[in-house]
A and B are shown apart, each in its own frame.
Chain A
Amino acid sequence: MEQGRGEEAAGPATPSREACTDPYLRCAFNGAAQTALGVSRSALLAHSPQGCEYLVNNAFASQECDYMETMTLCTKLCVDEIVHGGEDVLARTIREVKDLPISALFVISACGPEIVGDDIVAVCESLQPEVKFNLVPIPCAGFRGSQYDGIDIALDTILKRLVKGGGEKVPVSVCLVAPHANANPTWPADLAWVKHTLSRMGIKVVATLTHKTRLSEIENVASAEASLLLSHDAGQNAADFLSTNFGIEQVCKGMPLPIGMTNTERWLFALGERFDVRKTAEEIVSEGERMVTATCRRKWPMARFLYRTPAAIVADATVGIPLVRFVTEEMEMTPALVALYSSKQPVRDLLDQELHSLSLKPQVVYGTDVYKTRKSLREVNPRVVFGSTIERHASEGLSVAYVVEVVRMIRQFRMINREYFGYTGILNLFECVQNEWTMGWRSKERRYEAKW
C-alpha cells in the first residue's frame, strides 16, 4: 500500500505513524478503473454509490476514452443496498445493459458493497449465460490501497481471467505493462514513442496492459517473448506473473525509464542486446542525440542558465526517478530534494542506485503528501521545482522561483499529447522549462502608462 508508508527521509520501508495525510495518490478503485478502461470495446460498471462514478470519470479521462464508444455505468447504491445488500441491484443493472455492443463488461466494486459482503464474482458468474459479452468482476474497494495497488489488482484479475495460455510464442515480441501508471498527464505519448521505437527495432507488441487494448490481444499475451514494464509505480506484479506462468522474460528491469539522453541510451541498448538489434539501437541513439543537439542549437534552451541551481523533483517514481539524471546531467541543475508519491522497496532501491551513481545526496521523501512536500520545500529551499500545479501553490511564500509543471498539470492544458520518453521527450521537457522561465521574466506591472 502506498499511502501511509511514507516517511520523512530515505531509509527502510517502515509504516508511517501519520494519521492525517493530504494525499497525491487516489484509491485502489480509481486504479482498477484506469486499468479496465484501457480495454477497448468494453464498458465499466461501478458497483458503488454514485459519488464513486467521479473516480471512474477521472480514469476515463486518463485513458482517453471516447464517450461515443465507451460507456461507464453505476449501480448508484443507497442506504437500502448497504443494509440489505446490493447484489439484486447489480444483477438488475447488468440486465439493463445486456444489449450493449461490447466485448467485456468490467464490474468493479467500491468500499460500501465490499464491506457489506456483496459477492460480485458470484453475481457475474450467474449472469454470464444471459449476456453476450465477458463479465469480468474486479473486487477493488478503495480501502485496498492506492491507485497503484488498484492497477496491480486489476491487472492480476485480467491476466488470470482472460489470458489463454499454451499458444506459440511470437518471435521477437513483447507485451507492454502498465503504461498508464505514469503521472505525465499525456502519457499515451510515452507509450506511442515506445511502440514506434520497438517497431523500428523490429520488435512486435503483442499486447499493451492496458491502453486501447482489444480483448483478443489480452487473450494472446502469453505468446509474448518478453515484457516491458513502463512504470516504476505499478505493474511489477503483472510482469512477475507473466514470467512465472508463461516464461515471459522482463527486459530493462531495474533500469530508469527512458527520460533524458543517458537513460534513453541505456534503455535502448538493453533492448538492442536482448533482441539482437544493437546496431539499430545505436542508430536510434545517434540520430536522436543529433536531432536534440541540433534543435537546441537553433532554439537555445534557457535551462542552461540554471546551472547548478538547486532543484526539487516532486512526482511519481515513473517520471521522478529518470528526471534525477536528466535534471543533473542534461540541464545541469542540482537535485536538492526528491519527493516521490511511491514508497515501495523497488522504488527506493532504484532511486538509491541512481543517486549513488550520480554522487548526489538530496533530501529524499518517499510516499510524500502535500504537507510533507511543502515542509520539505521550506527546509531545502530549492529555486526550481519540477512538479505539479499543487507545488506551484504549495511553494507560495517560499523562495521557489520556477515551478516547472510536468506532472498532473491543471494550469497548462495540452491538446496534443507530449511524451517525456525518448528524444522528442527531452525537447518537450526543455519546453516546459522554457515556458516557465519566460513567464518568470514577464513584467508584473508597468513603470508608466503609454499615451495612446
Chain B
Amino acid sequence: MNTDSIVFHGDLQQLLEKVESGEMIPKLQASHAPMCKFFTAYYVISGIRHVVPLVHGPTGCPLFMSDFVRTRECCEIRGVPLEPTACTTLDESHVIYGGEGKLLEAVKEAYAKYHPDLIVILSCCCSGIIGDDVESIAREAEKLVGCRVLALRSEGFGGDFRSGYEDAFRLIIDLMEPPGKTMKGTINILGARWGPSPTEFNWDMDEIERLLAAIGIKINAIIAGGCTVEQIRHAREVELNASWCYDWGQKLGDMMQERFGIPYSRTGQPYGPVATREWLLGVATPLGMEAEAERVIEQEMKEVEPDIAYLKQALTGKTAIIEISEFPGPIRALSLARMAAEFGAHPVVINVHPYTIKERMPSIKFLLEMGINPEIILTKGLFRLGSFRSSKETEDELEAITKEYDNVIFFGNSGRFPPCPVVNLTLMNPVFQPQYGFKGIKNIAALVRHALENKDLPRSRLFKGMLYGTGKR
C-alpha cells in the first residue's frame, strides 16, 4: 500500500493507545470545530416536552436552536409543536453590571407566558464569565413560579461537546423522584437528544419500540427524546434502563445504576442479527422475559432469512471499507464494521477522527471489550486545514486506498466516489430506514443489492464537481 498519505494504519486498540498517549490529537487550532457545550446541553433539554430552555445570554446563542432544532427538526420534520426558545438578551450593560436581576425576572415572565412544566436556565459564555450565579437564581425563582426551575452551567468554553450532553443528563436525574412502586416489565431508553435528533432518527427508535412491544416490554420514558417531566419523575420506577446507543446512554445509565441501583443493559447498537439479538436479550433477560424475546427473535429471523442469506453471499470474501464521518457518526461505523464481519467481510474503518475517539473513550473501550477491534486507516487529509481541502484530499486518498484492496465494497455515503460499489448508508435518505433491528437488516440488504447490481452505472460528474471541484470524468 502507498503509505505517503497514511498517518495511521493499525487496529482500533492501537489507535486508542495513541489517542490516550496524546500522540494522535490534531494540533491545528483552526481546524474542525464541532458544537460547543452549550449546544449539546440544549439538545438534551429541548427533548423534554413543555420545557422552557431559558438561555441566559445574547441572542446569538439560541440561533441554531431556534432555526435548526426548533423550527426545522422539531416543527417541520418531527411533529413537535412550536416551543419557546427563550433568551435574556444580555447586552453590554448586563456584562458590566451583571444579569442576575434580569434572569430572575425572565424566569417569572417565562412561566407567565408559556405555562411550562419545567424551566431550565442555560448559561453561556457571557453569563459564565461575568459570574452570574444561575443556580442561586434558579432556587430563588422556583419559589416564585409553579414549576421546577433548574440551572445548567453550559458555557461554550466550559467543556467539549460531550460534556454538554452529560451535564444535561446529570441535571435530569435531579427531576427523578424516589420510586413509589416498581413498574413491572418497564424500561427507560436513555441517551436520546433533541426529541429526537438526526442521530436518533425516529425510524430506529420506532423499530426498537416495535420489537420491545412484541416481547411485551413497556417503555416509561425515552430520555430525553420527547419525554414528559412526569415520565422523568417516575423514571426510577422502572426495572431496567437500556440505551438506543451505548455511547450516549452509558453515562446516564451508569449514574442511575450507581445512585439508584437500577440495572443498565450494556449492549451495542442493534445493527445486524447478532447485535440485534444481543440488544433484545440484554433487555429481556434481566426482566425475566427471555423466552418471549427468543420467540420474537425466532419469528423475526424467519422474516429476514432471505436477506441474511443474500448479505452473506454478497459480502463473504469482500473487503468492506467503512467511512461514516459526518452522518451518522463513528459509533455507527464501528457497529457496521461488526455487522460486515458477521456477514463474512473484512472490515476496514477509514478516517474515524482521533478527536472522536478521545471524546468517546468509554464507548470505544466497551466496544473493544466486546471484541470489536477492526482495522483502521487514518489519512493526512483528515488533518488538513479547512473543510474543502480536507474533504477533497480525503476523497483522493479514499479512491487510492480502495484500489489497494481486492474485491472491495464501500460502506459510507454517496458523497464519495471510490472505484467500487458504494453502499449509501446516509441517514439523510428516509427511504431505507431504519437501519436498526430486523427491519434494518432488510434495508441494509436492499442497499447492498442496489450497490452491487448498479456498480457499473455512471456516477454524477455534477455532484462530484460540486463536492470536490473537479467536474471531470
Residues B86 and A20 in contact, CB atoms below 8 Å apart = yes
Q: Is B415 an interface residue (CB 8 A)?
A: no
CA distance A89 to B28 in the complex (A): 11
Residues of A within 8 A of B105 (CB): 19-20
Q: Is B429 an interface residue (CB 8 A)?
A: no
Q: Is A92 an interface residue (CB 8 A)?
A: yes
Q: Is B64 an interface residue (CB 8 A)?
A: yes
Residues A96 and B81 in contact, CB atoms below 8 Å apart = no
CA distance A27 to B156 in the complex (A): 15
Q: Which of A19, A23, A50, A76 contacts B102 (CB 8 A)?
A: A19
Residues of B within 8 A of A146 (CB): 59
Q: Which of B36, B71, B87, B110 contacts A49 (CB 8 A)?
A: B36
Q: Which of B33, B102, B103 contacts A74 (CB 8 A)?
A: B33
CA distance A392 to B113 in the complex (A): 19
Residues A77 and B85 in contact, CB atoms below 8 Å apart = no
Interface string of A52-70 (1 = CB under 8 A from B): 1111001000000001100
Residue of A nearest to B113 (CB): A371
* Interface residues on chain B, number (Cβ under 8 Å): 63
Q: Which of A112, A394, A410 contacts B125 (CB 8 A)?
A: A112
CB distance from B146 to the nearest CB of A (A): 16
Q: Which of B35, B87, B90, B156 contacts A112 (CB 8 A)?
A: B156
Known contacts A23-B87, A51-B36, A112-B129: A97-B30 contact under CB 8 Å:
yes
CA distance A92 to B28 in the complex (A): 9
Residues of A within 8 A of B35 (CB): 50-51, 54
Residues B39 and A79 in contact, CB atoms below 8 Å apart = no
Task: Name the interface residues of B85-105: CB closer than 8 Å to any CB of A.
Answer: 85-92, 94-95, 102-103, 105
- Stretch in A137-145, A192-200, A294-302 with 4+ CB within 8 Å of B: A137-145
- Which of B91, B92, B159 has the most chain A CB atoms inside 10 A of its CB? B91
Q: Which of A20, A52, A77 contacts B109 (CB 8 A)?
A: A20
Residues of A within 8 A of B75 (CB): 389, 393
CA distance A50 to B29 in the complex (A): 10
Q: Is B58 an interface residue (CB 8 A)?
A: yes
- Which of B34, B36, B37, B54 has the most chain A CB atoms inside 10 A of its CB? B36
Task: Name the interface residues of A30-89: CB closer than 8 Å to any CB of B.
Answer: 30, 45, 48-55, 58, 67-68, 71, 73-79, 81-82, 89
Known contacts A19-B88, A115-B126: A142-B81 contact under CB 8 Å:
no
Q: Is A286 an interface residue (CB 8 A)?
A: no
Residue of A nearest to B114 (CB): A371
Residues B95 and A143 in contact, CB atoms below 8 Å apart = yes
Task: Name the interface residues of B272-318: CB closer than 8 Å to any CB of A.
Answer: none
Residues of A within 8 A of B130 (CB): 115
Residues A73 and B30 in contact, CB atoms below 8 Å apart = yes
Interface range for A: 35 or more
Q: Which of B54, B88, B156 contacts A51 (CB 8 A)?
A: B156
- Which of A4, A20, A29, A52 has the most chain B CB atoms inside 10 A of its CB? A20
Q: Is B206 an interface residue (CB 8 A)?
A: no
- Stretch in B6-14, B174-182, B380-388, B456-464 with 4+ CB within 8 Å of A: B380-388
Q: Is B216 an interface residue (CB 8 A)?
A: no
CA distance A411 to B73 in the complex (A): 11
Residues B76 and A390 in contact, CB atoms below 8 Å apart = no
CB distance from B33 to the nearest CB of A (A): 4
CA distance A18 to B58 in the complex (A): 14
Residues B86 and A21 in contact, CB atoms below 8 Å apart = yes
Q: Which of A23, A51, A74 contacts B38 (CB 8 A)?
A: A51
Residues B94 and A143 in contact, CB atoms below 8 Å apart = yes
Residues B88 and A20 in contact, CB atoms below 8 Å apart = yes
Residues A22 and B129 in contact, CB atoms below 8 Å apart = no
Q: Is A26 an interface residue (CB 8 A)?
A: yes
Q: Is B421 an interface residue (CB 8 A)?
A: no
Q: Is B67 an interface residue (CB 8 A)?
A: yes
Residues of A within 8 A of B260 (CB): none
CA distance A26 to B86 in the complex (A): 13
CB distance from B414 to the nearest CB of A (A): 18
CB distance from A72 to the nearest CB of B (A): 8
Q: Is A1 an interface residue (CB 8 A)?
A: yes
Q: Which of B72, B81, B92 contacts A143 (CB 8 A)?
A: B92
Q: Which of B38, B67, B89, B386 contacts A4 (CB 8 A)?
A: B89
Q: Is B84 an interface residue (CB 8 A)?
A: yes
Residue of B nearest to A394 (CB): B82
Residues A19 and B103 in contact, CB atoms below 8 Å apart = yes
Residue of B nearest to A96 (CB): B30
CA distance A20 to B156 in the complex (A): 21
Q: Which of A22, A58, A82 contacts B84 (CB 8 A)?
A: A22
Known contacts A115-B129, A116-B129, A143-B95: A55-B33 contact under CB 8 Å:
no
Residues B126 and A96 in contact, CB atoms below 8 Å apart = no
CB distance from B388 to the nearest CB of A (A): 5
Known contacts A19-B103, A143-B126, A393-B81: A97-B89 contact under CB 8 Å:
no
Residues A111 and B85 in contact, CB atoms below 8 Å apart = no
Q: Is A318 an interface residue (CB 8 A)?
A: no
CA distance A370 to B87 in the complex (A): 11
Known contacts A20-B110, A79-B158, A143-B90: A393-B71 contact under CB 8 Å:
yes
Sorted from nearest, which 7 A-B pairs have the closest CB atoms?
A51-B36, A27-B60, A19-B105, A142-B58, A393-B82, A49-B156, A20-B106
- A-B residue pairs in contact (CB < 8 Å), sample of 29: A3-B59, A4-B89, A21-B88, A27-B61, A27-B63, A28-B58, A30-B63, A50-B34, A50-B35, A51-B36, A51-B156, A55-B63, A75-B30, A76-B29, A79-B159, A96-B28, A111-B58, A111-B126, A112-B156, A115-B95, A115-B125, A116-B129, A143-B91, A371-B84, A389-B71, A390-B82, A394-B82, A410-B67, A411-B76
A51-B156, A73-B30, A371-B113 given; name 17 further pairs at CB < 8 Å. Answer: A19-B103, A20-B110, A20-B113, A21-B86, A45-B30, A50-B156, A54-B35, A68-B388, A75-B29, A77-B157, A111-B95, A111-B126, A116-B129, A142-B58, A144-B92, A393-B75, A410-B71
Chain B residues near A (Cβ < 8 Å): 28-30, 33-39, 54, 57-64, 66-67, 71-72, 75-76, 81-82, 84-92, 94-95, 102-103, 105-110, 113-114, 124-126, 129-130, 155-159, 385-388, 469
Chain A residues near B (Cβ < 8 Å): 1, 3-4, 18-23, 25-30, 45, 48-55, 58, 67-68, 71, 73-79, 81-82, 89, 92-93, 96-97, 110-112, 115-116, 141-146, 370-371, 389-390, 393-394, 396, 408, 410-411
